[in-house]
A = this chain, B = another copy of it.
Amino acid sequence: MANTLRKSAKFAFSGVLSRVSIHNGHGRVSVSPCFSLQQRNSSTKAKVKVDLDSSTGVAVLGMESSPVNSLSLDFLTEFCISLEKLEMDKSCRGVIITSTLPKVFSAGLDIMEMYGKSPERCGEFWKAVQEMWLKVYGSDMVTIAAINGSSPAGGCLMALACDYRIMADNPRYSIGLNETQLGIVAPFWFKDTMINTVGNRTAEVALQLGLLYSAPDALKIGLVDQLVPQDQVLTAAQENMAKWLAIPDPARQITKSMMRKQTIDRLLSNRETDITNFVSFITKESIQRSLRMYLEMLKGRKA
Contact = CB atoms under 8 A, between A and B. Distances in A.
A207 interface: yes
B180 A248 contact: yes
Interface string A153-165: 0000000000110
Nearest to A206: B255
A248 B13 contact: yes
B1 A264 contact: yes
Interface string A233-276: 00000000001101111111111111111001000000000000
A63 to B, nearest CB: 23
A7 B259 contact: no
Number of copies: 3
B180 A251 contact: yes
Given A1-B256, A2-B140, A248 B196 contact: no
Interface residues of A, number: 66
B203 A259 contact: yes
A2 B140 CA distance: 7
Interface in A1-45: 1-4, 7-8, 10-16, 19
A164 B205 contact: yes
The residue among A186, A188, A252, A264 with the most chain B CB atoms within 10 A of its own CB is A252
A248 B199 contact: no
A99 B196 CA distance: 35
Given A13-B248, A15-B246, A255-B185, A1 B199 contact: no
Contacts of A252: 180, 208-209
Contact of A180 (B196, B197, B247): B247
25 contacts: A1-B138, A1-B256, A2-B87, A3-B87, A3-B88, A4-B254, A7-B90, A7-B140, A7-B253, A11-B251, A183-B251, A184-B251, A185-B251, A185-B255, A191-B258, A195-B200, A196-B200, A196-B201, A197-B200, A197-B201, A204-B260, A207-B255, A209-B247, A209-B252, A210-B251
Interface of A: 1-4, 7-8, 10-16, 19, 87-88, 90, 138, 140, 163-164, 179-186, 188, 191, 195-201, 203-205, 207-210, 222, 225, 243-244, 246-261, 264
